[in-house]
A = this chain, B = another copy of it.
């Protein structure tokens, strides 16, 4: 098989990366995708840098078994902590979520103040601050760790009329609001489900979903490297998880917006 017709490998700590896959479907429907969600060890966002790096490399090793042509790190935590290591260690194109979202935020801000919300690990890494600085050193980044958002979303609580979601979001977003940010990066691939609720707390602020920005950059990169699939048929999508298939499949629909139709398998002997 020609390299360009090989699948794209996407990984995340669990479900969140499916929000990236959803955009991938829409923008590149003919690409085959291998997705890996490390559901036996989710969440990554509260773990140490060393552990996140170890897990991220194991995730890439798993995807490489399927001879993928490129890797999408569909997890802000793994991207913040492990992208440099992955780029050094593996000889294939790697796209993360932080750099594309930072680029988009810089292009959208008018007052030069960008807010970023994410996991503890993402915020502590200062990955967004560094990415923004590399693009435009005059733009300021205000970031906030939001450790309760992933558990809330994973428990189906993300709607804008959920009282708990609103209280927690107000708490987390208040300092960013006070700083007057006019663009806000949802710096975790779980957060697109909270977009409406976040928008209610931050009216008028431009909201950037890190996954969407990432797919735009992936499309460019594949085109530049002559790696776009030549297939005209709908791409084949396979999903692997390190924990059991059932609970992943049940929750996947709210992230992906479609049924997974028996396409989920266990990543046996994963770790």
- A-side interface residues, number (CB < 8 Å): 24
User: Given the complex of chains A and B, what is the CA–CA distance between A231 and B147 in angstroms?
Assistant: 44
Picked from B47, B155, B247, the residue with its CB within 8 Å of the CB of A48 is B247
**A56 CB → nearest B CB, Å:** 13
Among residues 115 to 153 in chain A, which have CB atoms less than 8 Å away from a CB atom of chain B? 147-148, 151-152
Stretch at the interface among A66-74, A88-96, A160-168, A211-219: A160-168
**A50 at interface, CB cutoff 8 A:** yes
Q: Which residues of B contact A51 (CB under 8 A)?
A: 40, 243-244
Q: A40-B41, A41-B41 are in contact. List 18 more A-B contacts (CB 8 A).
A: A40-B47, A40-B51, A46-B154, A46-B247, A47-B243, A48-B243, A48-B244, A48-B246, A48-B247, A50-B244, A147-B151, A148-B151, A148-B152, A151-B151, A164-B164, A164-B167, A167-B167, A271-B271
User: What residues of chain A have their CB less than 8 Å away from a CB belonging to chain B?
Assistant: 39-41, 46-48, 50-51, 147-148, 151-152, 154-155, 157, 163-164, 167-168, 243-244, 246-247, 271
